[in-house]
Structure 1
């Protein structure tokens, strides 16, 4: 009798788990069914990104393209969850250029560098910086910047988002970085 109750319990629990997995799988497919990948090519860079992101404005003079999560774009066209691509001609050593850039940023009390190091981007040596900054003393944003040099140009791919949204959208930045093409 105890064996029959135990067998029934196992069968019921297995059935419930199967239903939960099937329901979760169907919901996951429905949530992403309308998202496709979009290609954008500009300024010597080719990227692929999900269709729930789109082209947006940037306040940087060196920006060659900027994309944002569509539901984060404000009335001025700037996204609060944003990936910006910049390019700037440099003279001299690339590493010296980077050091001077981040040394000047560290003088600003709203800037907090949390990590830095070397990485590879499509067989190109690059530098990664993670930091936070506050805007208007109210909004704290997290940032991840990956810098590389090609042809005397400094390129940066910069992801910025409010602290609460940073981790949830980081996968888009990481995917784009792994798939970026520099022409």
Structure 2
């Protein structure tokens, strides 16, 4: 009987110790839904709504742990832009990237046609040297009526793959609300 009592105490001690020493963030698996300016998407519970310096931004979220102390801006960020369509979807997309890749700071990694739900979209992944800071960006272009929505996922090159799950959460939950 005494052996069982000691074994029970050891097990209880281990359970309590494990619970008290966990260093996991309780918000790691939580998500938050952002609905604003005609779009909605889920984002990681550890991220925050951000202010973007990019043109045509209608929503932006960022990982506050990625803030560059020199600039004050987050390096891991997802920005949603809405652009009025002034030509065909494909011509605007092609012209944008022809101009972008004419600048030697930008290098294409991949380009593809993708499907988001039942909507066709175009995806462009590239690297950029942003004043000596090397980033990888994933831009997804979606057409809706006379609007083009761009989901721009950005992180430092050495962090991009680690952030893929967070980027996918946002991209896969993205909805245009009309």
Q: Shorter-chain TM-score category?
A: 0.7 to 0.9
Compute the displacement of 1:30 (Å): 5.8
Alpha-carbon distance between aligned partners in 2 of 1:159 and 1:85, rounded to the nearest angstrom: 9
Question: What is aligned with 2:88?
Answer: 93
Q: Does 1:128 align with 2:123?
A: yes
Aligned residue for 1:98, secondary structure, equals helix
TM-score by length of 2: 0.82
8 Å contact kept, 1:39–1:46: yes
Which sections of structure 1, spanning at least 5 residues, go unmatched?
1-21
Question: What is aligned with 1:172?
Answer: 166
Q: Does 1:72 align with 2:66?
A: yes
Compute the displacement of 1:78 (Å): 2.6
Aligned residue for 2:103, secondary structure, equals coil
Question: What is aligned with 1:158?
Answer: 152
Aligned residue for 2:24, secondary structure, equals helix
Q: After TM superposition, list the pairs within 5 Å mapping 1:130-145 onto structure 2.
A: 130-136=125-131, 138-145=132-139
Over 4 Å off, 4+ runs: 74-77
Q: After TM superposition, list the pairs within 5 Å mapping 1:53-64 onto structure 2.
A: 53-64=47-58
Alpha-carbon distance between aligned partners in 2 of 1:31 and 1:49, rounded to the nearest angstrom: 18
Deviations 1:43-87 (A, max 9, x none): 211011111111112111211111111211346653111111000
Compute the displacement of 1:102 (Å): 0.2
Corresponding pairs, count: 158
Which sections of structure 2, spanning at least 5 residues, go unmatched?
1-14
Structure with greater proportional helix content? 1
Alpha-carbon distance between aligned partners in 2 of 1:126 and 1:103, rounded to the nearest angstrom: 18
